[in-house]
Each structure stands twice: as C-alpha cells, then as structure tokens.
Structure 1
Amino acid sequence: MKSLFITALALLMGTLAGCATTFHSSKSEMEARPETLYEVHLVDADSGTQLSMKALAQKLAHTDVIVIGEYHGHQAAHLLQSRIQAALHHQRPLQVLSMEQFNLDNQAAIDAYLDGKTGETEFIEDSNAWDNYRASYRPLVEFARQHGLPVVAANAPAAVVRCVGRTGPGYLNKLPANERAQLPGNAFMDTPAYRDKFSAAITSSHSAAGEAMSERMLNTYKAQLLRDNTMASRILSAHKEHPNAQIIHTTGTFHSEEHLGTVALLRQRAPDVSVAVISPVVWPADAEKAPVEKSRNKGDFLYFIQPLPQEFLDEDRERKAMSARFQRPNNETCQEDSP
C-alpha cells in the first residue's frame, strides 16, 4: 500500500493518517468502546456531545471546507468519509471532493474516468491510485461520478516530493516551467507548531544522529510542507472555481489534526474561508470511556475508533519491511543526480 506514514530519517517520510464508522443518537457521553473496526463514536469536540450523522451534517451545512482526517487503511475512517460525503450532499448538492490520495499530475486520468472515457481498471492504472483504492476510496469517487461532482487530485507529484526530500527545496528551481507552475507559490510556507509536531513525531520513533542527518530531516520536512501547501492551494483553487460548492477533503490525519498542516496553511492563504476538521482518535485500551477532554484539540469533531492490529512485533522484520516499502525506484533520478 502506498501509505504516507513517517518511517525513518533515511527514508522520505509521508504522513500519518486516520479512520472510523457507525453512528448513534446524540448522547452526553459514550458508554462503551466501538464494537467493530467499522464503528465510530462521533463527538462534537467543543461540547463533548455524541452526534448522529444528521446532526453532524447540520452543523457543517454552511462550512466551506470540511477536512476529514484518516488513518490510512482503517475501515471505519473510509466508511465515515463516505457517509459524511452523502449526508452533506443531501443538504448541499453542489460539492467537490478533494483527495490527498491522488497527485495533481494525475488529474487528467481522474477527469477521463469521471467523463466516461475510461474504465475503472484503466483509471486505477492511469492515475497511479493507491493499492487500497478499491477497498477504501472507490465509494467516494463513485459517489462523485454518479452525481456529476468534480474530484480534485490535491497532492504534490510524488517524484517531486521525493526529490525535495533527497536534495532540498532548491529542487523546485530545476523543474521545467510548466511543472513548477502547477505547484503553489510559497511552496514551503510553514507554522512553528507544525514543525515542532513533525520533529516530535520523528524523534519519538527514531534516534537523532549528527548534523548530516539533521539536514536530511529538514529536507524531509520541506517535502512534507510541499504536500501541505499543494493541498491547501488545490483546495482553494477548487473553491475559487466552484464558489458555491462545499469542498470535502480527505487526508491523513497528521496533515489536519490540531488544525495544523494543510488546515493551518488554508487559513494563512485564505482567512475568510471557513474550515472544519474531523479527526480520528483511537479508543484507549485502558479507559472505560474515551477521553474527549484530552483529545478535543485534535479537531472540531472527533470520531473514536478501535486501534488497528499491530503490524510487527519483530523490530528487525519491521525495519526491513519499511526499507522495502519506501525504497525509491531504481530508475528514479533527481536532476542533481545527473552529470
């Protein structure tokens, strides 16, 4: 799976993500952990009140951009996204779907599929869709296709992100003019809180190492900022092109929780555009009730979910698997690699 998960300092980091799904009547408190990996407990972060899907949709009726964070591949997150998409469409039929899961250089492949010019397998191949597309994102794209709604490939081109991570932000200056023009101005706009969060996420999983590694980590962070700035720019372009439409953006939760990443950059670039963040929270194994108070800063709305099974218990196998998963293609070169 083309997960965008932060892995190792020597490997280009992608992103952390989120998930969940099944809805209950409004209650003041949640009574038990979600029973299945499809179920969520959906909560208003401000009041701590549990929400039904209808109540959530009503609260979001006049919001310009709804950002739904996910843990990539979690069944509950993807089911939740689909249900939110449909519920919001029922009350505001003008809607745009924006997705981190497609890169902007594959927009033509998405448009061809939506226009009925290609079949699904052709679309998946042409758009370089993630390996879990059919299981996780097909319902979102199909809903948009069936209702004639635009789908925006919001992420930066993967090859450009990798090369920024390897050689630094100056790589953008080496791109052909037409490729650079697709990327946002001020492509590495930043916020201090996001940088601190990124650094903490890296150092909590990997040991720090020397000045050279610090430079590599900085380049990796710049690659992360390129993703976030590109997504913010693509969302705002869609808002400008469809000013009366509501935009739903799906993304790994690291890009949006605590109103950081893409969300912070959206607000910097367009303060008048209203944004709501829906973030996943893993139900704690050691608590009878989910700690809304502890997690409410993660978003405007929270959805509590079961944790996914742990991938590895053997650290050596995990390290080898991560290296293989994120190894760059043998034929990939950045312009600075060329003689």
Structure 2
Amino acid sequence: MAAVLFSGCAAVPPAAIMKPATLYEASLVNTANNQPATPAALATQLAGADVIVIGEYHGHQAAHLLQSRLQAALHRIRPEQVLALEAFDVDRQAVIDDYLAGKLGEDELIEDAAAWDNYKASYRPLLEFARHRQAPVIAANAPADVVRCVGRHGPEYLDSLSPSRRALLPESPFRDVPGYREKFFDRLGHNAHGEESGATRSRLENAYQAQLLRDNTMADQVLRSLQDYPGYQVLMVTGTFHSEQRLGITAILEQRAPGLEVVVISPVILTDDDQAPAPAAYRDQGDYIYFIQPLPERFLDEQRRNAAIKHQFSKARQQECR
C-alpha cells in the first residue's frame, strides 16, 4: 500500500482535503501520502489486492454510498468479485443464494434472511449490483443467536451445538490478536485487566469472546471465499471496529494467511467544529480513510435513552439458549 495515487505529486496540505458538506458525502484519502482519492482512482490502485475491507458506521449514508461506488469501480477493472457482508449471518447463506437465483422476492429475502432493519437503505444497492452481475454474495457474520448465547454463557456454549451448526463456524472461533482486548474493553469503559467483581468480569469476558467469534467467523468466510472462487477479489463490508487499526478481521486474516494483500478503508467522523483534517493523524486507522459527517444524536433525554437500551436488552433476554 506504499504505492501513491498520483505519482510525482507532493503531499497535499491538510487544507486541500475537503470536509464533507452533506451526510451523503465522504472525503476519501490515501493515508500513505495524504492524497485525496476518488473511487475510480482507488479502484485502479487496488485492482491487485486480494481482500478489501471497508469499515462503516452502520446506517451512515456516506459510508454506504462510498461502498456502492467503490464496488462498481472495482468491478469494472476486475469483474471477478465476491461481496461479503457482516449484515447477513452464515446460517442464512442458502436464502441469499435463492434470492440471487431468482427464487425469492426481496421481502422474502428480508424475512427469511433476518435482514437488518436498514437493509433497503444501506445494503440493497450492494446486493442488487452483485445480483445483476452474477457475482457471489457471502453471508459472513456468525449466527446472531450463537453470538448472543456465547455472550451469556461463554465459549463453552459452542459444545452444545449440533455438528452441522458447529461446522458453520471456524475451527478456532476465538483466535485473539494483540491489542484488540485492550481496545475492546476501553470502548466499554473498563480496563482489560481490571478488578471488577466475579460476575461483572465474567460478563465482560464473555462479551469479548462473542466479539472474537464474530471476527473469526467473518475472517473465515473471507478465506473460504478465496478458496471457493480462485482469482476473485473479496470486498468485505463490516462495522469499522471489526477492521480499523488492522485489528479484528484484518489481524486474523494476516495471522491465518500472511501472504494475502489486505487493504483496510476506515471512516473518520468530523464535526462542524473540527479543523481541516490532517490525514496523517489517522494513518493507523487504515490504508485509506474517508471523512464523514456525524449522524444526529438519537437521544438528548437520558431517561428515554436508558429506556430504549433497557427495551433492547429485554427483547434479547426473552430469547433462550438451548
């Protein structure tokens, strides 16, 4: 990724990087040289990469528009393309395949594949682009119910799965990577090696194992795709926490297949009060970054926020782990 987008050009000063003016816009930058980029120019640079991981903030219009444009630009140069999505779980692959084969309508896809609520606004363009070009689409995430139950009961829950269910998951589903634990616990507001009570610590540890299960499953699906479709390029779309700073999925891929060329593209939110961005400050986030506007605050009333969180968790508690 040391290759530059515009050979012979001097590094662009931070002021030359345009801040996005709307929620649909993203300012894409090569962190190796601080150069701005377009999806078309980026596709030219990335044509030889094995895997391109595009991080996102789920439901952000700019992220999904950039993904769609980059998907099309890459396909024009290298039509042998696989689309892998965190937004679908591995146990729904047959549903995805049926939809691609014309055996299901879109509402049937959404229902049978347990699509996320933002499917139509966020992932429909990606899936439809692939469908119209007969490109494979991979449901990459670990099954939601398995992740939830690992979060409750720990890694041992996998021992209760049927052989066919367990075969959907990687052989080593909790492979860890340096630095990831610290980042995860810091995001939760806890120390990775803190002094919490036994019950609290157990819940935190189980939550981390559930996170690793997601990352390892998505990385495994990427590697399976490369094996099933030799010579294809995999475009992996996932939440940015799973890939930024070359942690999560990215680090697992590099552990399991060191020879792969994996490119990471990560979002960075800029508020109206932020100064003109200095891309070099975000170099550790990914090989490329894209600046976007923040989404509106969901709640300003703390009681309503807490009530919404409580409602979300109460629904999860109603689902049993068998």
Q: Give the match for residue 121 of structure 2.
A: 135
Q: Give the match for residue 69 of structure 2.
A: 83
CA deviation after TM superposition for structure 1 residue 288, in Å: 2.7
Distance in 1, matches of 2:22 and 2:171, equals 44
Ranges in structure 1 where 5+ consecutive residues have no aligned partner: 1-25
Partner of 1:250, secondary structure, is strand
CA deviation after TM superposition for structure 1 residue 318, in Å: 1.0
Shift in alpha-carbon separation, 1:186–1:240, aligned structure 2, 3 A: same
Q: Give the match for residue 246 of structure 1.
A: 233
Distance in 2, matches of 1:247 and 1:68, equals 11
Distance in 1, matches of 2:277 and 2:34, equals 10
CA contact (8 A) 1:284 1:290 kept: no
Deviates more, 1:83-92 or 1:262-271: 262-271
CA contact (8 A) 1:32 1:288 kept: no
Q: Give the match for residue 81 of structure 2.
A: 95
Distance in 2, matches of 1:330 and 1:292, equals 42
Q: Give the match for residue 172 of structure 1.
A: 158
Ranges in structure 2 where 5+ consecutive residues have no aligned partner: 1-9
Shift in alpha-carbon separation, 1:171–1:135, aligned structure 2, 3 A: same
Q: Which amino acid is the alignment partner of residue 124 of structure 2?
A: R
CA deviation after TM superposition for structure 1 residue 311, in Å: 1.2
| One of 302, 305, 313 as aligned partner of 2:300 | 313
| One of 127, 134, 142 as aligned partner of 1:148 | 134
Q: Give the match for residue 303 of structure 1.
A: 290
CA contact (8 A) 2:151 2:210 kept: yes
| One of 257, 267, 277 as aligned partner of 2:254 | 267
| One of 119, 123, 126 as aligned partner of 2:109 | 123
Distance in 1, matches of 2:60 and 2:199, equals 36
CA deviation after TM superposition for structure 1 residue 31, in Å: 4.7
Structure 1 residues 215-254: Cα deviation after superposition (integer angstroms, max 9, x where no partner) = 1000000000000000000110000111111110000000
Partner of 1:182, secondary structure, is coil
CA RMSD of superposed structures (Å): 1.8
| One of 25, 37, 41 as aligned partner of 1:39 | 25
| One of 241, 244, 248 as aligned partner of 1:257 | 244
Does structure 1 residue 213 correspond to structure 2 residue 174?
no
| One of 132, 149, 174 as aligned partner of 1:188 | 174
Partner of 2:64, secondary structure, is helix
CA contact (8 A) 2:40 2:70 kept: no
Distance in 2, matches of 1:253 and 1:199, equals 16
Does structure 1 residue 292 correspond to structure 2 residue 279?
yes
Partner of 1:129, secondary structure, is coil
CA deviation after TM superposition for structure 1 residue 324, in Å: 1.4
Distance in 2, matches of 1:281 and 1:72, equals 13
| One of 7, 14, 35 as aligned partner of 1:49 | 35
CA contact (8 A) 1:67 1:276 kept: yes
CA contact (8 A) 1:27 1:50 kept: no
Q: Which amino acid is the alignment partner of residue 267 of structure 1?
A: E
Q: Which amino acid is the alignment partner of residue 320 of structure 1?
A: A
Distance in 2, matches of 1:251 and 1:166, equals 23
Does structure 1 residue 62 correspond to structure 2 residue 34?
no
CA deviation after TM superposition for structure 1 residue 208, in Å: 8.1
| One of 184, 203, 210 as aligned partner of 1:198 | 184
Partner of 1:303, secondary structure, is strand
Partner of 1:227, secondary structure, is helix
Partner of 1:149, secondary structure, is coil
CA deviation after TM superposition for structure 1 residue 192, in Å: 2.6
Q: Give the match for residue 311 of structure 2.
A: 324
Q: Which amino acid is the alignment partner of residue 189 of structure 1?
A: R
CA deviation after TM superposition for structure 1 residue 313, in Å: 1.6
Shift in alpha-carbon separation, 1:299–1:330, aligned structure 2, 3 A: closer
Does structure 1 residue 160 correspond to structure 2 residue 146?
yes
Distance in 2, matches of 1:229 and 1:53, equals 28
Q: Which amino acid is the alignment partner of residue 74 of structure 1?
A: H
CA deviation after TM superposition for structure 1 residue 106, in Å: 0.5
CA deviation after TM superposition for structure 1 residue 204, in Å: 6.5
Distance in 2, matches of 1:311 and 1:50, equals 31
Q: Which amino acid is the alignment partner of residue 290 of structure 1?
A: P
TM-score, normalization: structure 1?
0.88
Q: Give the match for residue 231 of structure 1.
A: 218
CA contact (8 A) 1:33 1:288 kept: no
Partner of 1:249, secondary structure, is strand
Partner of 2:71, secondary structure, is helix
TM-score, normalization: structure 2?
0.92
Partner of 1:278, secondary structure, is strand
CA deviation after TM superposition for structure 1 residue 285, in Å: 3.6
Distance in 2, matches of 1:154 and 1:281, equals 24
Sequence identity (%): 52
